[in-house]
Amino acid sequence: MKILLGVTGGIASYKAIDLTSKLVQKGHEVKVIMTKSAEKFVTTLPFQALSRNEVHTDIFDETDPSVIKHIDLADWADLILVAPITANTVAKMTYGIADNMLSATLLASTKPIFIAPAMNSNMLANPAVENNINILRNRGIHIIEPGAGFLACGYIAKGRMSEPLEIIEYIEAYKKGEQIQSHQQKQDLKGKKVMITAGPTIENIDPVRYLTNRSSGKMGYALANAAASRGADVTLISNPLPLERHPAINWVSIESAQDMFEAVQSHMNDMDIIIKAAAVADYTPETVYDQKLKKKEGDLTITFKRTVDILSYIGTHKTNQYVIGFAAETENVEENAIGKLKRKNADVIVSNNVGDTSIGFKSNENAVTMHFKDGDKIEIKKQPKEAIANQILSNVNKKGFK
């Protein structure tokens, strides 16, 4: 497709660079229009380098006398995508203002237009903005709803621009003539109760020292946020972590493996779906000292005992719950994942190679394989964990959990 990408001035403008790259990688031809405000956040150079096309910023920069540039661009495109779009440009579209290159091109276009709003949650909820977006929607403009999460202003709320891969999925569904729904619009988990465990556990040795692991919790939190955005009633069980949480999530704070086990026991019977994404300690110190252990001559020996295998407990005691487990492996990834699927009586095991430092612990990206109880396997290529989370939920939904 020939895609004309409009970029307006907001902190999410940086995501448009990645969006341009991914669109080109998928075989689309991309031309970019940037507003002057967008140039305050990002420069034209990365868009030009990635699209291999001139970037347009000035409506009066008419270098080719044979065409009028904003008319020519509007005619060239198969569709126009504005991502991110600010409240200001939404208002210009609503009232037909054409005071820059982008707004004039939008006004001159007869092609499908897609917009991906990104702004502070209070701005998004302002009646004026809501009214403008509704007017555009009623005119046939495709709205790619923003997601919820940590915003630049510090709020944790709705207003984040959808991830580039989600936007591409949306417009490619349009190309195929499929029903277009963003993950936020789908609400395909509405009425479902979902419990997710995330992050590492902390096993105390004494008041000063503890044992833990390298898990960041990012994958579990991405799943919780995605499920909540899709309408689920989400209970997230994790340590306090410096990660964004959808405002609708019910967060249960824990510390140790035993704490997590007790929280899972307490909540699992009410759940429809259980996603065990936490990296739970397999062993915990047999003795936890009340006072700090002092340094002495010679070696120190600490005796450990096994913790409860939470996924096995869930698999043994589940009734109608659909259970998804994770297998973070460094070798024999598929073999270990399939073995875990059978031993734990899970419905799905999601495996990934944490030995790969580009997608391992603390990375913002991942690449996983879903192993289903019926023998099916779905590979999800490397991409942001937010996109991975939505693909996991979509694949499970397609398979049909009961």
Residue 344 CB partners (closer than 8 Å, separation 6+) = 309, 311, 312, 314, 315, 323, 325
Secondary structure class of 323 (helix, strand, coil): strand
Q: Active site residue: 67, 125, 152, 153, which one?
A: 153
Strands 203-204 and 210-211: antiparallel
Beta-bridge partner residues of 335 = none
d(CA 224, CA 218): 10
Residue 95, Cβ neighbours under 10 Å: how many? 9
Residues 311 and 325: beta-carbon distance below 8 Å: yes
Secondary structure class of 126 (helix, strand, coil): coil
Rg (CA), the chain: 24
> By C-alpha distance, which of 80, 147, 96, 77 is closest to 118?
147
Residues 18 and 5: beta-carbon distance below 8 Å: no
Both structure tokens of 341: 């699927």
> By C-alpha distance, which of 166, 228, 162, 244 is closest to 196?
228
Instruction: Determine the residue type at 252.
Output: V
d(CA 146, CA 155): 14
Secondary structure class of 332 (helix, strand, coil): coil
153 catalytic? Reply is: yes
Helices H, strands E: what count in the chain?
14, 20
Instruction: Name the DSSP class of 200.
Output: B
The catalytic site residues sit at 153
